[in-house]
Structure formats: C-alpha cells, structure tokens
Structure 1
Amino acid sequence: MSAADNALLRLGGSTADAVQDVLEIFAPGQVAPGVVKVVPPGTHPLADIQVPAVLADVSFVDGVSGGNVLVMSVAGARRLAAVMMGMAPEDLEPADEPTELEFSAIGEAMNQMMSAAAMATSAVLDEEVEIAPPDVRLVRTIEEATEHWEHSGQATIVTFTVGGAPCTLIQLVPNAFIVRMTRAFDEITAEYDGEVPLSDSLRGVAVRVWAELGRARMPLGQLVGMPAGSLVELDRESDAPIDLYADGMRIATGRLLVTAEGGYAVRIESLVTAADAADGAGPPFNTNHPVEV
C-alpha cells in the first residue's frame, strides 16, 4: 500500500467514524460499519449509487479545497426519520420519496453528520476547515447526483448500513493534504532499527488522547429525557481495565487513578502492538473501518 493511499485511508476512516457516531445517536444499535476504499482514478464515486436517493453535500469554503457527500437510499432515510420521530421503522408504508416531515428530520440529521465530518477532516489536517451550508436534496438519476461535481483531487468512499439500508459517504480529498501526508509516511516507514525515527515536525504533531471507561446504548428519546442526577450503566465492571486511544487508535490498556491534586490519570499496564493484533490479543487500530484499496 502506498503512502498516498495510507493518507487517504486515514482521512476517510476518521471522517466515517465521525458520521457514524452521529448516526448512532439518532439510530442506536442500527448502524453497521463498512470498508473504507480509495476511489480509483477516472472512476466517479457516485457512479454505483442506488437511485432514487437522498443526497447531502458540503463544500469546504476556507482552509482547504474539497468536501463531503453523504448518500442514503430513500428507504434508509425514511427509516432514520421514523426513529428520530419515535416511530417504528417496520411500520412504514412503502414510498418512492420521503414526506415533507420525514425530509425535515432527515435534513437535520444530515446537517449534523456533515458538520461532524468537517470537524474530523479539520482534526486530521490540523488546520481549520469551514463548510458551506449542506445541500440536502432528493436525486432520482445518477446524472442529477453527479452534475455538480468538479474536483481535481482524489476521493475515498465507505458504504455502511443504517437499519439494514445502504448509506454511502464520499470524501473529496485535497491534493495538498495527500502531498503533506505522503511525505510524513515516507519518513516513518523507512527502514529503521529500534525506535521509530520521527522527524522534529512529526514529534510536534498534537493528537487527541482519551480513556474509555465503558459504553452504553439507549434510545435517543430516553437520553434527552434524562434528568440531572440520572445514572447511566456502562458495559464494564468498576475494576475492569480501561482502554486508551490516540486519534481513534487503541494504543494501551490501564487503570484509572486519582492524582494527588484530585484529578484523574491512567496508569498504563500494557501496550497494544501490531504483534498483539496478529495474535488476536487486540487490534491496534480502530476496527470499525477495515481498509481496502
């Protein structure tokens, strides 16, 4: 796999994670992750979508060129709208397009998903990314979906499912990002013996580090109705090890401690290495998005 493909897949995976996290809020337990792929040169990313479909696209207006496009089948969009409105998706009558009320709910969800995608892009590029207001519309033909697309860069695509219906996220990637990230990958994937020879510029790159104590799933209606003082039960015991992540990559497990100043800290007990992943001891990368080129 080339350094350029690595850069593309990293950006595509981070963006897809952000969008799926928002979808999980609206439709908990109904989002199945997909595989991030690099779109081959000369291939239009929307060439194989199913129509009619609901499409949302945003363009970056400051910081970098590019954008994101999210495509949901009409059936999937209507199921998402039903969940958001407290209805049972299986009770929906078949229809060729969403109702006005459904489209309003879908538009709100897509606005939040595209904002999350832009924030994820900004985090990976380490520079501010501003977006134009999302354009959410119903497209009935491939020509309608592709007529506004003019982009000289590269793209990634990931297709996942929401309530069993397909949902496609496409990232239009600026060429400047590919050049910068390719140089970084060339440096750290060179032959080395011992410690990875990071350059001074890479050593100064800030990454988000967080500890995960546990997770919980609940309907959105229950979540927004929870009063102050409510307890949320997590899926781990109180004495179980916690996971430590860096920019979506699980890097270690450890124990939560209280510092002398009254704050929290994590004592690292074990590092998750590539060898551990090969032995089945745990993936070093976020496995929500296996990669395929």
Structure 2
Amino acid sequence: MDGMLSQDEINALLAGMDTSAGGDTPADAPADGGGDAAPAEAAVSTPPVGGGAIDESLLTDSEKDAIGEVANISMGSSATTLYSLVNQKVNITTPQVELANWENVINNYERPCVFIQIKYTVGLDGTNILILKEHDVMVITDLMMGGDGTNTDGEIGELQLSAISEAMNQMMGAAATSLSTMINQKVDISPPQATVLDMINDDPSDIAEFLTGTFVKISFKMQVGELVDSTLMQLYPIDFAKTLKDTVIAADESSQEAAPAAAPAPEPAPAPAPQPQMAPQMDPSMMQGQPMPQMGMPQMQMAMPQMMAPQMMNMNIQPAQFQNFSGGTTIMAGGENIGIIKDVPLEVTVELGRTAKPISDILDFAPGTIIELDKVAGEPVDVLVNGKFVAKGEVVVIEESFGVRVTEIVQ
C-alpha cells in the first residue's frame, strides 16, 4: 500500500540507524519508499510549551533598569495600600527584573500558588499577572477579616479568593494612580481575577497567551509584619513592558521640555547700614531729683516713632475686598464621599440583655447557674455597631445559626 513500509524496508531502516553509530551510514538517509516519514530526532527536539532557551537579547540591561524603576514606584504605592488593609507593617523591597518562561517559573516558585490577572482598560493596553504563594494569601486574607494571621489551615476557598482579589484591586488601583502621575494621563484597571494553580498540569495558554513564550519576570521580596517573609512575582509581556517604559520616559522628557528654564534670581541690593540714633540731650539741671533713665530699650522706643512715621505716611491703606459666595456652590451636609470607607470592617454586637450582680454572686457562678436579665421574653434585642446602639431586632434561626432580623432603626 502507498505510504506504508514493508518489513524489509523497516529492517533496512533499522540497520541504517545501527550502522550510523559507527559512522558508516548517515542516520538521516531516507529508506526506499519512506521519503514521507519524518526523522525520529525532529519529534524529540521540539521544546515543550513555555520552555526552551531564553533569548537574553530581547531586553537590554538599561531597559531592565527602567522597567524595574517603574515597578518599584508602583509597588511602593501598593505596599501603603496593603498596610491599610491588614494593619501590619508591609515592606516590599527593590525589584529584580529578568526574562523568564513558564518552565522557569515552575522550577523556581512554590506550588500551588495564586495567579491574579490584571488588565489595563484606560491609558494603557496590556496585561500583567501577580503570583502569590498560597500561605501568603491565607495570612493576608485572615488579617483582612479581623484575624491575627495565624488561621492558615485548610485550602483556599472562594472567600479567600474574593478577599485577595479585593486586596489586589486596591493595591493595583494605587499603582495605576502612580502610573497616571508618571505618564500624565489617566490609567485604570479591570477587576482582578484570582485563580489557584499548581502550574504542573496547567496549560499557560489558558491563563494568558504571553505565558507560552518568553516574558518579563519582576521579583519582589515582601514582608508583612512577622507573619510573611516571601517573594511576590509580577509577569509582563515583553512588548507591554517596553511600551510602559517608553511611555514613562516620553512623559518625563515632555514635562522637562515644557517647564521653562528658571531665570536666575536677582541678587538682593545691599541694605543701607542703619544710622545710629542719638539719645536726646537732657539738661543736667532737670535730672536732679529724678530717677536715671534706663539705657537700651527706652531709647529704641523713643526712636521708633520717628523712623516709622514717614513710612506709614507713604503706605496705601485700603479696606480688604472679599469674594461674595452667595451665588456659589453650597456643599450640603452628608455629601461626603462615603465610598472611601465602605470597606472598613465594623464590629456588630447583638445584646440580649444586661444585669448587675455583686461580686459575691459572680464568685458563686457555676455550670447551670441561671442569670436573670433586664428584658422580658419576646422583647426586641439591641443591635450595637462598634458599641453604639443603632437598631432593634428579633432573634431568628438561619439553618443552624442564630441571626437577627432588624425591626427598628434608632435615630
């Protein structure tokens, strides 16, 4: 049959491969009728997706330094934002910029980890990916939810992914604001998407297309209090990293050209030397029986009116003119932007009732002791926010947990 090798042809091909080891017959010599078959070496030499050698010429050292400087400024803003979220000291060190591929990331980073993809929607057109270790995400999200950062048992769930996405949204939003200042135009991002990956069995093209080739890897050393001492990675496509660097440099050069050269300040004219004021001559006969005048300040007080009088006469004194605000915009009470503090957690307490007991009764407390409260059965419970009484409600049962249905808001 056409395209099929006979047994003799297969034997001849195998014999040719054996003799090639001794140098008698080239291994790639085609067998009769087998010209359409590809050499076995071709399939072996094909590099895996995201692997292979890295071409270091794709990025010069000066370009790496410039990209690192931009990333350093951006992450400085992000560290400040993270501090406000976890209430722990956050330190992100100077970044290290290098070229990498998917295989390099797999071999040099702890698995599994959390990939957070951020897309620029305004001002810039590109994507970058943040990679955090699973333990670091558990610590940060526990701190965000009011814990002490030690509740890191178990696996990352939807709650942790949602919390870290919100944290990265605020952090990268602050970084976008820094970029806006650097390039003199608005920069905005889309909501980040967080995913837990083990990287070994994941196809990089399913995450982002640029991960299948060579990309820019920026590594930061991140410390959060005494709980996290780890590495944070940021991945950029090479073209986007270069575009970002060129945009920042072009904006910096244009701002320097637009700024007029500052004219040298004129040297101040030397002030005339003050003329010594002569003390008024007094008749000795008038001094008899009078106390001696003190020297120094009284003489200056006598001389000052004479010095100031000519200046006051030459001054143009007019009543102050103020702008009339009657027709201006009035800021109504309550119009502040409350959205800035909407993410601040507050402690909500439901109080069933209270009572006062002497110390002797409290010392007699034991399992089974019944304490009578100041509220009757069925009376609404009090809802307090950060200790302040804000509402009344009734106790309900939600599946296996207690809850409170608000029935009245206290003004």
TM superposition shift of 1:154: 4.5
TM superposition shift of 1:43: 4.0
Tell me the equivalent position of 2:125: 65
Tell me the equivalent position of 1:160: 222
Tell me the equivalent position of 2:138: 78
Rounded to whole Å, the distance in 1 between the matches of 2:118 and 2:130 is 9
Rounded to whole Å, the distance in 1 between the matches of 2:112 and 2:217 is 23
1:131 aligns with 2:195: no
Rounded to whole Å, the distance in 2 between the matches of 1:63 and 1:33 is 26
Tell me the equivalent position of 2:245: 178
TM superposition shift of 1:200: 6.6
Rounded to whole Å, the distance in 1 between the matches of 2:105 and 2:121 is 22
Deviation per CA, 1:150-206: give whole Å up to 9, x if none: 348755332313322525141524423334556799xxxxxxxxxxxxx7752437x
Rounded to whole Å, the distance in 2 between the matches of 1:160 and 1:168 is 6
1:87 aligns with 2:147: yes
What letter is aligned with 1:116?
Answer: A
TM superposition shift of 1:116: 2.0
1:56 aligns with 2:116: yes
Tell me the equivalent position of 1:204: 258
TM superposition shift of 1:31: 2.2
Contact kept? 2:80, 2:90, Cα under 8 Å: no
**2:165 alignment partner, one of 107, 121, 125:** 107
Tell me the equivalent position of 2:87: 28
Tell me the number of residue pairs that the alignment of Structure 1 and Structure 2 aligns. 197
CA spacing shift, 1:184–1:22, aligned 2, 3 Å: closer
What letter is aligned with 2:173?
Answer: S
CA spacing shift, 1:27–1:93, aligned 2, 3 Å: closer
What letter is aligned with 2:113?
Answer: A
TM superposition shift of 1:12: 0.8
Tell me the equivalent position of 2:283: none
| TM, length-normalised to structure 2 | 0.41
| TM, length-normalised to structure 1 | 0.55
- Counterpart secondary structure, 2:209: coil
Contact kept? 1:64, 1:174, Cα under 8 Å: no
> Is the strand fraction higher in 1 or 2?
1
TM superposition shift of 1:118: 2.4
CA spacing shift, 1:64–1:108, aligned 2, 3 Å: closer
The sequence identity of aligned pairs, in percent, is 20
Contact kept? 2:117, 2:128, Cα under 8 Å: yes
**Which stretches in structure 1 are left out of the alignment for 5+ residues?**
186-198, 206-219, 228-293
Tell me the equivalent position of 2:292: none
Deviation per CA, 1:88-111: give whole Å up to 9, x if none: 222x2522x223333332222122
CA spacing shift, 1:74–1:153, aligned 2, 3 Å: closer
Contact kept? 1:68, 1:117, Cα under 8 Å: no
Larger radius of gyration: 2
Over the residues paired in the alignment, what is the CA RMSD in angstroms? Answer: 3.6
Rounded to whole Å, the distance in 1 between the matches of 2:248 and 2:179 is 13
- Counterpart secondary structure, 1:127: coil
What letter is aligned with 1:175?
Answer: K
- Counterpart secondary structure, 2:125: coil
